[in-house]
Amino acid sequence: METADRSARENGSHSKLSQGHLPAWYVLAWNSRALSVAISVVILMQITYYSTEVVGLSAALVGTIFLVSKIFDGITDLIVGFIIDRTNTRLGKARPYELFIIPLWLLIVFLFSTPDMGTTGKIIYIFVFYTFINSVCTTFLQSSETVYLGRAVLDDGGRAKILAIGGVIVMLISAVSSMILPQLMNSWGTLPGGWTKIALVYAVPMLVIGLLRFIFIKEKTISNKDEKSNSLGFVEGLKLLSRNKYIFILTALILLSFLATNILGITGTYYFRFIMGDLGLLSLVGMMGLLGPFLFLLFPLALRKIGSIGFVRIGFTVAAVVCAVRFFFYDNLPVLVISSFLSGIGLTSITMINHFFILQCIEYGELKTGKRVEGTPAALTNFANKIGSAIASAGTGFIMATGGYVSSASVQPDSALMSIRLLYSLVPAALSVIMIIILRFFDVEKTLQTMKKEKTA
């Protein structure tokens, strides 16, 4: 009798979750690890600045280090996707990999504690720790997240809600962190061991918070057919993936979005130091960013009114316009603050809800091929995320070096200042236009509706 009652309670709870009735604790617990990873991105965006201004490496050399590091990501992403597809433990398919949040933060602290060991030693040190952070820890965390969400919340309405509220939480606290970071850099950045202290300020609380999802959120098996995907071989999985055109379109969009976002994140530090003459002013951008996350609460409404694609298209259009405007009003602080706020919202409109689109691509692939592949599609988009970030780090370094940027110099030549201006305005504007064009081919939402109607007819 007791077993039957417990089963009934579990089924009732599962039914509520699958219908979008998500309690507040569930939404908060789910987004805890996403928040932790987002904060890690905030501090990792400063690795180029740290490597050039603190460690003393040239901008071109730093760009090369990060670009070469991404070669390993190209290998590990697909391998991790294959591993997740074949995982079947009592904790679930994706949940066990949440524990990679622990080494992620430990390695970040070590990365920002580079010892004085000569140029070659510093290059090797930064390369090794940066590669382990991205190629192993971040790869497992991000590649497993979509699979985890698909098994924790079973309907689009619930997923839209959890991603919309999560977008607010993640972006809000990330904005606060971005606002605090320049102040910490001003206070501790030039002191011995200062960057270790900065890393610890973020690492200690975020490591604890990052474990909450693993502790409180369980997976649900969604179908017997899904479990059979564990028998798929690596080559067969790739063949099935090659028949899913939408996952490749989404991959391109995510790559370009992260490329633009990271270019702005990396360049912003240089921009406010050398163009505006006050790094502390960068905190104003973070303060304005506190308002942005609330716009993502509109996503469930937008899903019903204009569709998910319409929501993203508006975001890209706004980003293209305001980034272009920023080039012509390059030293106008109100314009910089407002345009940074709007471009940040626009460019992240797809990345904040990318798991929603990935799950649609997974469903499309299952309807088309009859087999469900989860880990590999998520890993492919994760690969795009990191390639975009890597190209941003390398490209920023190369462009600034071409412009004549001199590491550790207090004054930069006009050509270097122009390269910083371009990276902070017209480059992300052009990338936004390209994404608007690509988005015309990403009609997965409409295609899924048609396929489902044909299947039930």
CB atoms within 10 A of CB 439: 18
**Is residue 91, in this structure, part of any structural domain at all?**
yes
CA distance 317 to 299: 17
The answer as to whether 1 is a domain residue is no
Asked if residue 224 belongs to a domain, the reply is no
Q: Which residue has the tokens 């995982």?
A: 87
Kindly state the average pLDDT of the residues 328-332. Answer: 92
Please check the confidence at residue 109 and state whether its pLDDT lies above 90: yes
On whether residue 19 sits in a domain, the answer given is no
Any idea which residue has 């730093």 for tokens? 62
Give residue 295's pLDDT: 65
The answer to whether 255 and 385 have CB atoms below 8 angstroms apart is yes
Distance CA 183, CA 168 (A): 23
* Position 290 confidence tier, pLDDT thresholds 50, 70, 90: low
Residue 8: inside a domain, yes or no?
A: no
Q: What is the pLDDT of residues 16-50, one digit of tens each?
A: 454 457 788 888 899 999 899 999 988 998 898 89
- Determine the structural domain holding residue 211 and report its residue range: 24-218+232-456
The residues, any chain, with a CB within 8 Å of residue 16's CB and separated by 6 or more, are none
pLDDT of residue 17: 52
Q: What is the chain's mean pLDDT, rounded?
A: 83
Looking at the structure of the chain, the number of domains it has is: 1
Task: Compute the distance between CA of residue 270 and CA of residue 36 in angstroms, rounded to an integer.
Answer: 25
Tokens standing for residue 308: 């998910």
pLDDT over 90 at 216, yes or no: yes
Place of tokens 């009934």: 8
- Structural domain contains residue 368: yes
Which residue(s) pair with 89 in the sheet? 92
Assigned domain for 12 exists:
no
Question: How far is CA 243 from each of CA 80, 236, 450, rounded to the nearest angstrom?
Answer: 20, 11, 18
Residue 92 region, left (φ>0) first, then alpha (ψ -120 to 50), else beta?
left
- Residue type, position 188, single letter: W
Give the pLDDT score at 254: 92
Task: Name the pLDDT band for 202 (thresholds 50, 70, 90).
Answer: very high
In a 3-state reduction of DSSP, which class is residue 92? strand
* Sign (positive or negative) of CA dihedral 364, 367, 368, 371: positive
Q: Which residues pair with 253 in a beta bridge?
A: none
Q: pLDDT for 362-375, tens place per residue?
A: 889 888 888 877 77
**Could you tell me if residue 408 is left (phi over 0), alpha (psi between -120 and 50 degrees) or otherwise beta?**
left
364/250 Cα distance (integer angstroms)? 13
CA–CA dist 155, 29 (Å, integer): 18
Instruction: Classify residue 360: in a domain, yes or no.
Output: yes
CATH number, position 354: 1.20.1250.20
Most confident of 271-275, 353-357, 448-452: 271-275
**How many Å separate Cα 172 from the centre of its chain?**
15
- Euclidean distance between CA atoms 337 and 333, whole angstroms: 6
Residue 12 is predicted with a pLDDT of 44
DSSP category for residue 330: T
